[in-house]
Amino acid sequence: MTSAMPAPADLSIAPGADILHLANARLVLPDEVLTGSLIVADGRIAEIASGTHVGAGAIDCDGDYITPGLIELHTDNLERHIEPRPSVDWPHLSAILAHDGELASTGITTVFDAMRVGSIHTGKGGYVKYARALTDEILALRRADALRISHFLHLRAEICSETLLEELAEFSPEDRIGIVSLMDHTPGQRQFRDLSKLKTYIAKKRGMNDTEFEAHVTHLKGLRAQLGDAHETGAIAEANRLGAVLASHDDTTAEQVAASHGNGVGFAEFPTTIEAAEACREQGVAIMMGAPNIIRGGSHSGNVSALDLAGRGLLDIVSSDYVPSALLLSAFRLGEVWRDLPRAIRTVTAAPAEVTGLTDRGHLIAGQRADLLRIRDINGTPVVRTVWSRGRQVG
């Protein structure tokens, strides 16, 4: 990487182009932090150069960082907006727009909105179908240019459910389904090997007493035994039909990772043990961990620490999971741990772009989409000052 990167000839700035000029900034390039300037023309990065000069019409960034916009692969945030309390169904249009605005404010410029497919219609811990209708609403807002940032879709295929294959069949390759993840939340394994952790999580959320919780666990185990294998096989086939990247979820053992690799997964979401993460590395499967795990210093479910994996070189991608603002904060925390900010920023920009095939974003390189963040370090905390999507200010 050179310290001055003029635009290629085919990216020459045309007369009358819509220009954004950021100067006197710390530019987080793929392999270095360069003090310099960046010019955007018509929504794409046109030129990067070194130096502190602030020319006419340029924005003086006063030494703030400029990074690519963050790319989020797995967030529960949309579900939180459409159901702010258990059994409270919030108007979806308002919820989607609030979710979109919240992500923009935290520096996320591309999101794969995670939505559950596969419902349970019996028992107190059940849940109903919503993903198809919500997809239609998101795509309608996208066509209307009503969204601040770029939205793709992530179908969380609940293996332990009653209606997974029927719900997946409702989607088509035109629906921008970027990811299908295989989610097996059967009690007693993967994320919830410790049933006391599951009880703390779901019994409180759903207001279950001991008897109801035990019945819920028994019901889920029965569903897995009856339908789980067919659901897993069918979900893999549906991901291929939809042209989506397949992801594993909560792999715990080397055997589970080997099965995931055999299924053709592109990355592993939240492996729960060092054993699983090491197996991912051996199999060439990218490893994604949660930002809240990094910030808290450990998993809320009692699983492996993301910082432990980072220290072992077993961390490639970070997801905000259930706290959107944690994504940027975790990247800067990793920058401290690794003493390498560009490497850390890649976990929330270039690496998630690569595993999902988004070749037009994720780097500060001439020709890429101008999805950009201006960040100021205030007492060791990265604070988002401005967000641009395709060169347009959105936050």
Q: For the residues 306-314, what does the mean pLDDT come to?
A: 97
- Position 148, amino acid: R
Residue 215, pLDDT score: 73
Q: Is 139 helix (H, G, I), strand (E, B) or coil?
A: helix
Please determine, for residue 326, whether its predicted confidence score (pLDDT) is greater than 70.
yes
Confidence check: pLDDT of 3 > 50: no
Mean pLDDT, residues 30-47: 97
Q: What is the mean pLDDT of residues 234-256?
A: 96
Confidence of residue 88 (pLDDT cuts 50, 70, 90): confident
In the chain the beta strands, taken as DSSP E runs, fall at: 19-28, 33-41, 44-50, 59-60, 65-68, 70-75, 108-117, 150-158, 177-183, 245-249, 267-269, 286-290, 317-319, 372-378, 381-389, 392-393
State which CATH number among 3.40.50.720, 3.20.20.140, 3.30.2040.10, 1.10.150.120 fits the domain covering 70-355.
Answer: 3.20.20.140
Residue 356 Ramachandran class (φ > 0 left, ψ -120 to 50 alpha, else beta): alpha
Task: Read off the pLDDT band of 33 (50, 70, 90).
Answer: very high
Residue ranges per structural domain of the chain: 9-67+365-393, 70-355
pLDDT > 70: percent of the chain: 87
User: Which tens digits make up the pLDDT trace of 134-159?
Assistant: 999 999 999 999 999 999 999 999 98
According to the model, what pLDDT value does residue 303 have? Answer: 87
Mean pLDDT over the full length of the chain: 90
Instruction: Pick the range with the lowest mean pLDDT from 1-10, 37-46, 233-242, 352-361.
Output: 1-10
| DSSP H helices in 110-209 | 131-143, 164-168, 195-198, 204-206
Asked whether residue 374 carries a pLDDT value surpassing 90, the answer given is: yes
Quick one: DSSP state of residue 223?
H
Q: Which amino acid, one-letter code, is at 392? A: R
Confidence at 218, pLDDT banded by 50, 70, 90: confident
Mean pLDDT over residues 191-215, rounded?
A: 66
9-67+365-393: CATH architecture? Roll (2.30)
Reduced to 3 states, what is the DSSP secondary structure of residue 267? Answer: strand
Q: Give me the pLDDT at residue 188, please.
A: 54
Question: Is residue 268 within 8 Å of 288, Cβ to Cβ?
Answer: yes
Q: How far apart are CA 309 and CA 289, in angstroms?
A: 9
Q: Model pTM? A: 0.89
Higher pLDDT, 269 or 198: 269
pLDDT of residue 194: 61
Q: Is the pLDDT of residue 182 over 50?
A: yes
80-99 mean pLDDT = 92
Task: Give residue 4's pLDDT.
Answer: 36
What per-residue confidence (pLDDT) applies to 184? 85
